[in-house]
Chain A
């Protein structure tokens, strides 16, 4: 039994069987066998080892003939390991004492050995870890023979354990049978996190070396709420988590029943609950959860999900928008123009990486520096306006001049389309992300030049509190409940109301049930969040009155510390959803 701590990036709890993804996607099918079968397993192991030795001897001879004795030496080493009596003794002990299958016994023992090697100080020995895995894979291949399990056709429910999940791997996964993810690397915005959230299954990333600690077939608990993975849990832990799982399933069923109902308070005040997406396919899940529209389409993923040297074309933009509108069936789609730059991928590809990407040439600034790229996206957006309710939003706007420039480029695009007789709707609603504090402070001025605001609380909090939330050393300081942030959010909402334009919040704060009462009470009418978060927010809204929310908000705005704010909100919210926190 082992407990590993990582970053929980998709909520939920699942108890499942591990499917370890490695370079060859080999799966250990069974963990244990009946007592009568242990003899058979030992025999299978013996045969597989013998076959591997023949293979290795042939390999060794071939390499020696072609490249000489030195290089052939490594295969000699592999052969010695295979012949090693102590290793064989350990594996047979696993089979006989623990009734493990040959595959599982082999895996357990080799991983144990690999770990010992990995811990050695001398680099030469630490490098031998690769050899151990190589030997394991070779014997495993002989054991599995034809019975290799196909990633895209899983026979049973599993939780996927991997170093990292690439888009190509998730694309191939049998989504019906995957119930959770755990990876060595990654963070909140990595691909694993995104896919897990879209699928609504728990995920924990950044575990360090989980792939060396888990064998395929192991029983695993993945707790995406607490960011914990438990390998081979004991009875007590199993019971505890089964209870959590059961409660969660029940809770989920209740929440899904909510999806058809409106987000209306007890005293008749209705708000809009929309969803944030990265890919058009996310829309299906969002609609199933009751989303009334898409409040944020993060179009930069069109770039992040492609190869380094590929320029995203106008057609590719257009296809994505058309696909999204088809799925939405008339519901609104707010497209945010490219918000690239501070992410790792762009920095890695850049000719000269910036020292301070968050404050650098990113997002709208990058677009205004590369008009041809900007226009490709704008043209596609304008062409899509005839297919549904499209709205456009510019990110990271910090000055009125910037906004006017962006609108000018948009106008140019409209002129060009008109010249080419390509249909579009001129009255497309134009909005800005309010995330740079400067824009928030001048909300009144900006409100006169746009049709709507969307408050990007993620970046707003970072800029206001001078905290990089991806820096573990200070991530704890990141807190939307900071009174300064709340004050600014309130002022932006008021500025919107005063100028009769719509205001939404599309940062994480919108989907965090802790802040629902507060935002409602401050006058927010549109919340845009991850699909899976919608039901819980809706439940809170349906359980309270606008009057009560306003009272809560008034009280909160009188506090001077985050702690006070959060404590109070937790207490107030628990009155409606005791199981939320």
Chain B
């Protein structure tokens, strides 16, 4: 089963609050692969990338380091697109 993984840093000001979390989950749900998101730091956590509840509870604030893992036939594509979302700061202008 193909898999892919990338580390990213949360760069938008308000962190991974409701709107970005929803965007992430909407995108993740379009892929067949299982998506796992890991949060590093003093309060580490793990979430199912397709569950908005779990993503919000991660409470990832600005500057948090995270890892996106995908496992499935479209793993590579999933990780690339999801990382792209983070890098575009979820469309929030500073």
Neighbouring B residues of A475 by C-beta, 8 Å: none
| Docked-complex contact A80 and B54, CB < 8 angstroms | no
Interface string of A109-143 (1 = CB under 8 A from B): 00001001100111011001000000000000000
- Once A and B bind, how many residue pairs between them come within 8 Å at the CB atom? 47
Among B17, B18, B26, B54, the most chain A Cβ lie within 10 Å of the Cβ of B18
- Chain A residues whose C-beta falls within 8 Å of the C-beta of B54 in the assembled complex: 84, 86
Contact call A120/B53, Cβ cutoff below 8 A: no
Q: How far is the CB of A150 from chain B (nearest CB, A)?
A: 33
| B17 contact set on A, CB distance < 8 A | 124-125
Q: Does A467 contact B (CB under 8 A)?
A: no
CA distance A54 to B18 in the complex (A): 21
Is the beta-carbon distance between B59 and A76 smaller than 8 angstroms?
no
Q: Is B11 an interface residue (CB 8 A)?
A: no
A50 within 8 A of B: no
A120 to B57, CA, bound (A): 8
Taken together as a complex, chains A and B put the C-alpha atoms of A330 and B26 apart, in Å, by 76
Q: Which of B33-82 contact A (CB under 8 A)?
A: 48, 50-54, 56-57, 59, 61
Nearest-neighbor residue (CB-CB) of A90 within chain B: B53
| Residue pair A87, B18 in contact (C-beta under 8 Å) | no
Note all chain B residues with C-beta closer than 8 A to A128.
Answer: 18, 56
A125, B59: Cβ atoms closer than 8 Å = yes
**Cβ distance A50 to chain B, nearest Cβ, rounded Å:** 18
**Distance A84 CA – B54 CA, assembled complex (angstroms):** 9
Given A76-B22, A80-B25, A87 contacting B53 (CB threshold 8 A)? yes
CB-CB under 8 A from B19, the residues of chain A are 73, 77
User: Within the assembled complex, what's the spacing in Å between the Cα atoms of A77 and B18?
Assistant: 7
Kindly list chain B residues whose C-beta atoms are within 8 Å of the C-beta of A76.
Answer: 22
A76-B22, A77-B18, A77-B22 known; A85+B56 contact, CB < 8 A:
no
Among B15, B48, B57, the most chain A Cβ lie within 10 Å of the Cβ of B57
Which residue of the partner chain, among B15, B22, B53, contacts A86 with CB atoms under 8 Å?
A: B53
Q: How far is the CB of B45 from chain A (nearest CB, A)?
A: 11
- The 4 A-B residue pairs with the shortest CB-CB distance in the complex, in nearest-first order: A86-B51, A80-B52, A84-B53, A77-B18
26 contacts between A and B (CB under 8 A): A73-B19, A77-B18, A77-B19, A77-B22, A77-B52, A80-B22, A80-B25, A81-B52, A83-B52, A84-B53, A84-B54, A85-B48, A85-B50, A85-B51, A86-B51, A86-B53, A87-B51, A87-B53, A113-B53, A113-B57, A117-B56, A120-B57, A120-B59, A125-B17, A128-B18, A128-B56
Q: Give chain A's interface residues, CB within 8 Å of chain B.
A: 73, 76-77, 80-81, 83-87, 113, 116-117, 120-122, 124-125, 128
Seed contacts A85-B51, A124-B14; 12 additional CB < 8 Å A-B pairs = A73-B19, A81-B52, A84-B54, A85-B48, A86-B51, A113-B57, A116-B57, A117-B57, A120-B59, A122-B59, A124-B17, A125-B57
